[in-house]
Amino acid sequence: MKTSTATKTQELKQRQRSPLATPTDLEAAATHDIAAALNAILADVFALYLKTKNFHWHMSGPHFRDYHLLLDEQSDQIFAMTDPIAERIRKIGRSTLKSIGHIAREQRISDNDADYVEPLDMLAELREDNKTLATRLREVHNVCDEHRDVATASLIEVWIDETERRTWFLFEASRHGDSGGH
């Protein structure tokens, strides 16, 4: 027996309305709070990734190779955060960002669309963005602690460490050396 097109359409609409409620022992209020905080972090991470790649692509000057490679390495590390963040949101039964527009509405890290940015200004801007991200990751960690979500908190601890390392490298790479190169 063939299923009618109307029935198939109705079934499809029903499936689309069904929540993606993955079972979890966390309370609904906890998953709501944690997912909201993680989605904001995810938007910031995508914004920071693209800004880091933008500066990587548009780097110039006498330290081109070093800065270009540094930003390429950092952008890879930043991008590597995106899937675990999104999957963690899904693991606790919530939905995650769905589009570039959604990212733009949620991101708190500013874009930089300037035609030209001095290399040291690029490093300084990324350093400050990474410091801001570390602060926001700590805030989300507090939300996780409040709701006893140790799994998300554990992931965040690693991301804080990675973010602090990027901040450190950006700081050191942008320091002015003395005549002896130190």
Spatial contact of 41 and 106, defined as CB atoms under 8 Å apart: no
Tokens in use for 120? Answer: 């040291």
Is residue 83 very low, low, confident or very high in pLDDT (cuts 50, 70, 90)? very high
Is residue 4 very low, low, confident or very high in pLDDT (cuts 50, 70, 90)? confident
Q: Within a 10 A sphere around the Cβ of 161, how many other Cβ atoms?
A: 11
Distance between CA atoms of residues 89 and 87, nearest Å: 5
Give me the residue label for tokens 């601890």. 157
* Nearest CA among 1, 36, 17 for reference residue 140: 36
pLDDT single digits (tens) 23-72? 899 999 999 999 999 999 999 999 999 999 999 999 999 999 999 999 99
Q: Within a 10 A sphere around the Cβ of 50, how many other Cβ atoms?
A: 19
Spatial contact of 92 and 34, defined as CB atoms under 8 Å apart: yes
The better pLDDT of the pair 16, 179 is held by 16
The whole-number pLDDT of residue 17 equals: 64
pLDDT single digits (tens) 95-141? 999 999 999 999 999 999 999 999 999 999 999 999 999 999 999 99
The whole-number pLDDT of residue 125 equals: 98
The whole-number pLDDT of residue 12 equals: 73
Q: Amino acid identity, residue 170?
A: L
Domains of the chain: 27-173 (1.20.1260.10)
The whole-number pLDDT of residue 9 equals: 83
